[in-house]
Each structure stands twice: as C-alpha cells, then as structure tokens.
Structure 1
Amino acid sequence: MTVALTSRRASDVRVIGLISLAHGSSHFFHLILPPMFPWLKAEFGFNYAELGLLMTIFFVVSCLVQAGSGFLVDRIGARPVLFAGVGLLALAALTYSQSNGYAMLVLGAMIAGCGNGVFHPVDYTLINHKISPANLPYAYSIHGVTGYLGWAAAPAFMVAITTLFNWRIAFLAAAILEALILLTLWIGRARLVDDVQARREETETHHAANNPSGTPMSTFGFMKLPAVWLCWIFFFFSMAATTGLQSFAPTALFKIYDLAVSSGNYYLTLMSMGGAGGMLLGGYLATRLKVPERIITICFTVNIVMGLLLATGLVPVEIIVLAFIVIGLGLGIAAPSRDLMIRTATPSGSSGRVYGIVYSGIDLGAALSPLVFGIFLDIGLPKLLFVGVAMLQLMIIVTAFKVSSDSEKIDI
C-alpha cells in the first residue's frame, strides 16, 4: 500500500511539474511586452495610450479564447490544446521581434492572446482528472506559485537581454525559451494524456443519475448554474484588483508619498514573491482546514485594511514595503482555497467548459481595470486606487460566500 501511494505521489509530482511549467510560461508572456514600452516608444514614436492598447487587445482576445477553448478541451482533450497554446506564445514573441510598426505589434498581441486563453481550461482539467484528491491543494499551490514566478521573471529577463543586446533579441530569446518549454512538454507528453471518453462517460453517468426523464444532455446547460457566474464574478473582481495594483501602484505611491517609481516597482516584485510563498502556505491550510470561504475572507479582510491604510497617506514610508508583502501573502494564501471552491462548484465532467467560462473573467477584469484606475490618476485622485482595490476585495469576500452557499447542481 505504501509503495502504491509513493508511486502515485511521484506521478502527481511529475504531472503538476509539467502543467506548472506551462502555466508559468503563460504568466511570463503577460509581462514580456510592458517592460519593452520605453524601447518601442523610442523606436517607433508610439505614445503610451497606443502601447497600453496592445495589452487591452491581448487580454480581450484571451478572454474570448478562454471562454471558447474550454469546449474544445472537453471535445478533443487538453493535451493538443496545451501544445497549441504554447506554440502560439512562441509565435507571438517571434512576431514581436520582427515588428516593423504598430500593425505587427497588434498582430503579436492577438496571437499571444489566443495562446494565453487556453491555459486555465487545460491546466485545471488536467489537474482535476490526473492528480489524486489528497494532493489537489498542493497541486493548486505549485500551479499558482509558478504563475507568480513567471510574472516576476519576465521584466528582469526582457530588460536584461535588451540592455545587453536590443529589444528584438529580447523577444527572440522569449520565443526560444517558449519553444524549449514546448519541447519539454512534448517529451513528457505521455503524462499529459487526457481521457476525453472517460470524462464524457462521467458526464453522462451524472446526467442519467439526476435526470430520470431521460431528456437529452445539454452542452451549454452548465451555464444555467448560478455558481458558475458567481465564480466568473469572483475572478473578475480578483483580477481587476490585482491588475490595478500592478499597473498603477508605483505611480500612486509617488503621488501620495513622494516615493520613487523604481521603489514602487520593487514593492510589486516583493508582493509577487509574497504571493508565491503564500500559495505554498495556502495549499497546506486548504488541505487541513477545508473551509475555503473562511480562508478567503480572512486573507482579503487583511488586504482591505492594508489598502485603506495606504490610501490615508499616513503610513510611514518604511512600513509601506511590509504592507505590499502582506498583500502578496494574502493573495497567495487565498488562491488554493479559491481553486478548491471553484472545483466544488463545477458540475461533474464539465471542467473544461466551466473553467473556460469562469476564468475568462480574469482577462476581462485585467482589460478593464487599468482603464478605470487610470482615470483616477489622470484626474489627480491617486488615493482612489487603493480605495477602489479595497472595495473590489470586499466584493470578492461577498461572492466567495455566495459561491460556497450555492451548492445547487442542475442537469447538464
């Protein structure tokens, strides 16, 4: 029995390692373009509104692809969709490297959005069906940690190579890196086999058990579940808050506390590292406590307090760095509980479709948040950044309890 458990644990580790590598690369590609804005501005004479629009295009395309790719995952399996997504990211970086104007950058952003949109439906389908239930919280933790590490690595990687060579070589290096990741996934492809037929039979069994009348099973029936849309709202608020901080916290700190923008960016790096560490602790807590909505409530309540304190303009400059580390820890600790909560709300056999729709809320939140918070800064109200983020996090708490309490499962 011990040998079997050890073997299963080793298999789980290898599978989550491959999935997390791919996930980290998707987060890496979230941030390969923004660090290059100064160089692209100097090269082509674009203004920051034009450059910022590239990121909006990226996330809007990703939102649309993410909503649809889950259906493809449930039809043909997760592995081919994963390979396509990684390949598209490599192609996007190659397109960026050869850009001769704005049109090619837009094309690169659209290709990158198509590639990025597949990861959550693919990743969570593989995790939920290939990782043993006892190891799921740890799998969610490692998966999330690599996302934060991808965010942390991208700016340093791109700026360092650009400084040594030029921005075109930096994008080319990113393309090569993604191609190597695709090769690694191909070598380990046997561990990423997704038994679509087994998942389809699981869905049919669930439907038959809960539908004695024998009416046909609906492909889109899961969209009638209130919990699915509550989860979408949860992710919309969550990413809107996080993206607001990532986009404008350094500028807001400069305006409120006269803190150098470079220091603000350093605080964001520490926030990401705190998030990575928090996810490891969050996996342990989610396994032991099994009360995801309470863990989420505690974490975001602390973050709300931190945000409102920062908004007062009275926090000593020496303490601000601690506030960002605490915020990162809160985001990280809550993440595994969030993923378990979403899994509980997912109808049997429909993970690809549900995760595709639910996680599209992330991309839409990321696309709209900078537009709203940018207005606050433009009109000279930087404190509203932290107040707005706190209000979004309050809505996250409310939504988490609604998701947890809504255990209704309708026939799909």
Structure 2
Amino acid sequence: MSEDRSIIGITSVSHAAVHTYELSIPILMVPWLNEFGVSRFILGIVVGVGYALFGLGALPGGVLSDRIGSRPLIITCLVGMATGFLTMSVVPGLAGVAVGLCVWGASASVYHPAGLTLISKGVDRRGRALGYHGIAGNIGIGAGPFVTAVLLVFFDWQAVAVVLAVPAIAAAVFALRLDIDEPVATDGGGEETGDTDAGFVAESRALFASTFALVFVVVMASGLYYRGILTFLPDILGDTVEFNPGLGLEFEASRYVYSALLAVGVAGQYVGGRLADGETERWMAVGYGTLAVIALAFVPALPSSTALVAVSLVLGFFLFTVQPLYQNTIARSTPEKARGVSYGYTYLGVFGVGALGATVAGAILTYSTTTVMFVVLAGIAAVGASAAARLYVKRQN
C-alpha cells in the first residue's frame, strides 16, 4: 500500500506539472508578442515546434518505459521541463524562448506513456489510481494559466518562468528518493525484447488496417482543434474582454477567462467519463459536431465581451468532454496486446500532429482574419464528427 501511495503521488504531481506548463504557454504568449514584436504566424511556428515535440516523443517514450522503466523517464521529464523554462528566462530573445520550448516539449513527451505504464504495472487498485491521476491533470490544466496570469501581474515573464520551474525540480527530487519495485521488460534479456521492433511494425500495420484508422482521424482532428483554438485565445479575448478592479493593478481579464474555461473542463471530463460507459462513438460524433457549432458561435460573439465569455465557457466544457470518449473508443477498437502502441499513436496524433493547429491558427490570424480562423476550426471539428459517425455506423453493423 505504501508503494501504491508513492506511485500515485509521483504520477499525480508529474501529470499536474506537465499540463501546468502546457497551458501556461498560451498565457506567456501575450507578453512574448508585445516584447519581441513578431507576428502571430512566427510565434505560432515557434510554439508549434515545442508542442509538436510534446507529441512526437510519445511513441518512443512508450517503448523506453518498457525497456528501462518508467521512473527514470519521469525524472528526466521533470528535470527537462524545469530546464526548458529556466532556459527561456536566461537566454535572451525569441531564440531563447524557442530553445526552451523545444527542451520542454521533448522532455514532457515521455510522461504520459511512462506515467500510465507505471500505474498499470505497480498499483493494485488501478481504477482509483487512474482517477487521482486524471484529477491531478485537470488541476494542472486549470491552475497553470491561472497561476501564470496572477504572477504576471507582479513580475515580468522571465521571473514567472523561473518560479514555474521550481515545482518540477522539487518533484524530481521526490521521485529520486522513491523506492519502487518496477518490472522492466529487458530484465534477463528475454526474447520479448528482441522481438520488440518486429512486433511494433506488425502491430502498427494491424492497427491501421482496422477501425483504428478512423479513430486516428478523430484524435488528429481533436488535437488540431484543441491546439488551434487554445493557443491564441487569450490574445483574442484580450481584444474584447476588459476588467478594471480599481486596485491600481493591471489585470488582464482575458487570462482569467481563459483559466475559467479550462476549469470548466473538469466538469466536461466528468460528464464525458460517464457517457464513455455507453455508445462512445455516437456521443463522440455529437461532441465534435457541437465543437464545430461552438467555433462558428465565436464569430458573432467577437464584438461582445459578455457573449465571448459565455461561448468560451461552453467551449471549455465540450472541449474536454470528448477526451474520455475517444480514449475509451480506442480501448474498444484495439486488441489488448496492441493497447500500448495504440495509445502511443493517439498521443502522437493529439499532441504531435495537433501541434500544427498552433501554426495554422497563427498563419490565418496573420494573413487573414479571426473569423476565418474559427471557420477553419469548425471544419476540422466537422471532420472529427464525420469520422466518429462512420465509426458508429460500423459498430452498429
């Protein structure tokens, strides 16, 4: 039981840290745009590269967690994320931000496969552990932008980056002191390790020859929409939403609206988890269809502060409702022996391919209009809804 608590503790803290950093970046983009004088397109590319690495490392992260164990990868992840944010604070200019984001993205990429593998292998009551793990991630999603926004009221962004690095360093020290009996696939140089590469290729071919190919379309659409709509939303909100508390402080209201919509996502995760026990494909199609409508609803809401806040909060609910749905759909659509590979591809699609959403959104905002960006994002959500609907039809047949 003591080891269970240790595993739940380190994975929960690490999961919260990963998402704290992930969602603090869009808040930091506002001062970056002001300080560096670059276009949204250029900054979107810089941020998109870091987010792409966040996804691209998921697949090799899953393989490494089986070969060398999860704890070394989690420690590497925590130290690397802190190093990335410290790099941003000390290396001058946009180049420092770019290098720091790349270090953060590559380091954070290994967490999800490593953390989930550690829980699945080392905890007896896995359901409860995964519940705590998910709650911790949601706390990070909501706390990251909120804490960053509050700190930016009192400090410049470089100092904020240093403060944000401290919890990851503390968590890495905690992880180093843990005594966990973790099984590793390479123990004894067994035949299974020698067959890993061939097995990976065979499993990959089998996956994409099945309904998983449609699921992969859904998760790519999810990632593109998620990253595309969240990356520049604080900046877009800042053009309309205003708040003057009369305290002699400069409060950026857009940052708190952004934090609020992410906090609402906790309720969305809960509802999505309940719906995931039923016909996931049908609810997934409804969810992505709703996200398409929400993207279009931003267009008439843009001139109104009240309407923009309302649509943003609705976005927060449905954006996170679909996540448990596609996660359970993957489990239903893939054989157990290929589950690890399938989730590796899932994170590759959501965070890797999805990172292009930041670049696409930045390009549209630079060379076209905000309206066009939301229309394009609505189209991406519609593609996800269509693929989910096809999955539902196949499931019924």
Q: What TM-score does the superposition give when structure 1 sets the normalisation length? A: 0.76
Counterparts in 2 of 1:52-201, with a 5 A limit? Answer: 52-130=44-122, 136=127, 142-188=132-178, 190=180, 193-194=182-183, 196=185
Give the whole-Å Cα distance in 1 for the aligned partners of 2:342 and 2:64. 12
Segment drifting more, 323-332 vs 138-147: 138-147
The equivalent residue for 1:410 is: none
Whether the aligned pair in 1 keeps the contact of 2:45 and 2:358 (CA below 8 Å) is no
The equivalent residue for 1:218 is: 199
Whether the aligned pair in 1 keeps the contact of 2:48 and 2:359 (CA below 8 Å) is no
Match of 2:14 among 22, 33, 46: 22
Give the whole-Å Cα distance in 2 for the aligned partners of 1:189 and 1:349. 29
Segment drifting more, 376-385 vs 258-267: 258-267
The equivalent residue for 2:382 is: 394
Give the whole-Å Cα distance in 2 for the aligned partners of 1:73 and 1:387. 40
Provide the secondary structure at the position in 2 that maps to 1:196.
Answer: coil
The equivalent residue for 1:212 is: none
**Corresponding letter in the other structure for 1:180:** A
Q: Does 1:384 align with 2:372?
A: yes
Whether the aligned pair in 2 keeps the contact of 1:121 and 1:353 (CA below 8 Å) is no
Q: 1:99 to 1:162 in 2, by over 3 A?
A: farther
Cα drift, residue 194 of structure 1? 4.7
Match of 1:330 among 293, 311, 318: 318
Cα drift, residue 178 of structure 1? 0.4
Match of 2:342 among 354, 359, 367: 354
Match of 2:227 among 243, 248, 252: 243
Cα drift, residue 87 of structure 1? 1.7
**Corresponding letter in the other structure for 2:264:** G
The equivalent residue for 1:274 is: 264
Q: Does 1:368 align with 2:368?
A: no
Whether the aligned pair in 1 keeps the contact of 2:66 and 2:184 (CA below 8 Å) is no
Whether the aligned pair in 1 keeps the contact of 2:44 and 2:358 (CA below 8 Å) is no
Count of matched residue positions in the alignment of Structure 1 and Structure 2 = 380
Cα drift, residue 376 of structure 1? 3.2
Provide the secondary structure at the position in 1 that maps to 2:232.
Answer: helix
Cα drift, residue 80 of structure 1? 2.0
Give the whole-Å Cα distance in 1 for the aligned partners of 2:298 and 2:26. 25
Give the whole-Å Cα distance in 2 for the aligned partners of 1:277 and 1:264. 21
Cα drift, residue 89 of structure 1? 0.9
Match of 1:47 among 27, 30, 38: 38
The equivalent residue for 2:249 is: none
Give the percent of matched residue pairs that are identical in Structure 1 and Structure 2.
23
Cα drift, residue 359 of structure 1? 0.7
Provide the secondary structure at the position in 2 that maps to 1:244.
Answer: helix
Cα drift, residue 115 of structure 1? 0.6
Cα drift, residue 340 of structure 1? 1.8
Runs of 4+ in structure 1 off by over 6 angstroms are 10-14, 200-204, 404-407
Whether the aligned pair in 1 keeps the contact of 2:212 and 2:334 (CA below 8 Å) is yes
Cα drift, residue 237 of structure 1? 0.9
Residues 8-51 of structure 1 deviation map (CA, whole Å, 9 limit, x = unaligned): xx9877644532321221112224444445655677x4524554
**Corresponding letter in the other structure for 1:29:** Y
